[in-house]
C-alpha cells in the first residue's frame, strides 16, 4: 500500500498473539513500529522517549487488567497535546469512550473495537485519520449510542436525517462518504452538516466537526 504516509507508531498490547497480528498488519502497510510493549509503564516510557506520530493501545493491560491503557493514553495526551491516540477495546462499551473523549483537546482520538482491525483496509484508514487529527469512533459503538437517544437530550433539536449524518461523522467519514452511505448528494450532506453546527451552536473558531461529534457522544 504505497499511497500511505509511513507513520512512526508505539504499540501497546499485552496479549502476544494480538501484538504480533497488529505488528504484521502495520508493517505490511509500511508503518514503522518503534516499540511494541506489553504494559502501560513501558508505553509511557517509550512514548516520552521516542515521540511517535501515533500511539495504539489496548484498554485493558497489566497489572490490574482494567483500564490501564486508557489512563496511560490520557496521561500521554496531557504530556503531549498533539499526540494522536488510537485506543482498541474488546468490548462495545462507551464507559471507556467518555473517559477517552475527556482528553480530546487537540483531536486525533480513535476508539475502535479489536474486531475492526481484521478489516485491514478500514483499520488502516482509521489510523490515518486519527494520525491526521480526526476523531474516529467504532461504528458499532456509534450505533449503540444512536439506539438509545434520550428524548430530552441536547441533540433533540436535530432531525432524524441530521442525526444520521452526525452518526456517520462520528465514525470519521468525509462528506463524500456520508453522501454515498445515505444515497444523497454531497451538497445535501454539506447542508445537513451546516444545520447541525448551527443547531448545536458550535463555536466556529474550533474544529466544529470534532465538536459536533463530541457533543453527540458525550450526550449518551
Partner 1 sequence: MRPPDVWAALRSSPWRLLASSWPWRALAYLASGALVGLVVAVLLFVLVGVGLLTLVVLVGLLVLAGIPLLAALVADVERVRLRLVLPEAGSGKAAPSERIAWSDRFRALRRLRISGPEVGYTVLVATVLWLVDAVALNLLITLPGVLVLAPVLVRIDAPVAFGPWQLTTPSEAWIAVAPGLVLLIAGLYAATLLAAAQASLARLLLEPAQTRLTAAVADLRRSRVDLVDAFETERSRIERDLHDGAQQRLVALTMTLGLAELEVPEGAGLDLVRQAHAQAETALAELRATVRGIHPRVLVDHGLTAAVRELAGAAGLPVSVDLRVDRRLPAPVEAAAYFVVAEALTNAVRHAGARSARVQGQVTADRLEVVVRDDGAGGATVRPGGGLAGLATRLAALDGLLEVTSPPGGPTEVRMTCPIALP
Which residues of this chain interact with partner 1, rule CB under 8 A?
15, 17-18, 20-22, 24-25, 28, 60, 65-67, 90-96, 114-115, 117-121, 123, 141, 144-145, 147-151, 220
Q: How far is the CB of 107 from partner 1 (least distance, A)?
A: 24
Cα 120 from Cα 148, distance rounded (Å): 30
Reported as half-sphere exposure (CB side, CA atoms, 13 A), residue 84 has a value of 20
Q: Which of 147/203 has CB closer to partner 1?
A: 147
What b/e readout covers 184-208, taking b as 16+ CB neighbours within 10 angstroms?
A: eeeebbeebbebbbebbebeeeebb
Q: Which of 142/193 has CB closer to partner 1?
A: 142
Cα 100 from Cα 73, distance rounded (Å): 8
Cα 20 from Cα 26, distance rounded (Å): 10
Q: Which of 15/33 has CB closer to partner 1?
A: 15
Q: How far is the CB of 17 from partner 1 (least distance, A)?
A: 4
Cα 28-23-95 angle, rounded to 5 deg: 120
Q: How far is the CB of 212 from partner 1 (least distance, A)?
A: 20
Q: How far is the CB of 115 from partner 1 (least distance, A)?
A: 6
Q: Which of 95/201 has CB closer to partner 1?
A: 95
Tell me whether the omega of the peptide bond preceding residue 140 falls within 30 degrees of 0, making it cis: no
Handedness of CA 94, 25, 23, 75 (dihedral sign): negative
Cα 99 from Cα 115, distance rounded (Å): 21
What b/e readout covers 157-166, taking b as 16+ CB neighbours within 10 angstroms?
A: ebeeebbbbb
Q: How far is the CB of 120 from partner 1 (least distance, A)?
A: 4
Q: Which of 14/189 has CB closer to partner 1?
A: 14
Q: Which of 37/202 has CB closer to partner 1?
A: 37
Distances in whole angstroms, Cα of residue 148 to Cα of each of 14, 36, 151: 33, 37, 9
Q: How far is the CB of 147 from partner 1 (least distance, A)?
A: 6
Amino acid at each position: 500500500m504505497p499511497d500511505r504516509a509511513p507513520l512512526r507508531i508505539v504499540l501497546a498490547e499485552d496479549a502476544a498473539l494480538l501484538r504480533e497480528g497488529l505488528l504484521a498488519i502495520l508493517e505490511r502497510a509500511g508503518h514503522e513500529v518503534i516499540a511494541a510493549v506489553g504494559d502501560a509503564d513501558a508505553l509511557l516510557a517509550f512514548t516520552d522517549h521516542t515521540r511517535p506520530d501515533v500511539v495504539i493501545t489496548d484498554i485493558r493491560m497489566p497489572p490490574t487488567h482494567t483500564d490501564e491503557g486508557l489512563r496511560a493514553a490520557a496521561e500521554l495526551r496531557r504530556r503531549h497535546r498533539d499526540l494522536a491516540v488510537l485506543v482498541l477495546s474488546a468490548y462495545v462499551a462507551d464507559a471507556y469512550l467518555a473517559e477517552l473523549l475527556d482528553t480530546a483537546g487537540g483531536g486525533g482520538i480513535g476508539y475502535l473495537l479489536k474486531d475492526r482491525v481484521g478489516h485491514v483496509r478500514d483499520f488502516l484508514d482509521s489510523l490515518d485519520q486519527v494520525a491526521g487529527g480526526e476523531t474516529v469512533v467504532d461504528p458499532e459503538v456509534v450505533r449503540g449510542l444512536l439506539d438509545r437517544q434520550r428524548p430530552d437530550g441536547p441533540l433533540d433539536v436535530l432531525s432524524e436525517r441530521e442525526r444520521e449524518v452526525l452518526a456517520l461523522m462520528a465514525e470519521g467519514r468525509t462528506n463524500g462518504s456520508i453522501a454515498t452511505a445515505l444515497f444523497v448528494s454531497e451538497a445535501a450532506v454539506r447542508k445537513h452538516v451546516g444545520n447541525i453546527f448551527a443547531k448545536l451552536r458550535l463555536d466556529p473558531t474550533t474544529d466544529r466537526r470534532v465538536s459536533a461529534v463530541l457533543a453527540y457522544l458525550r450526550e449518551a
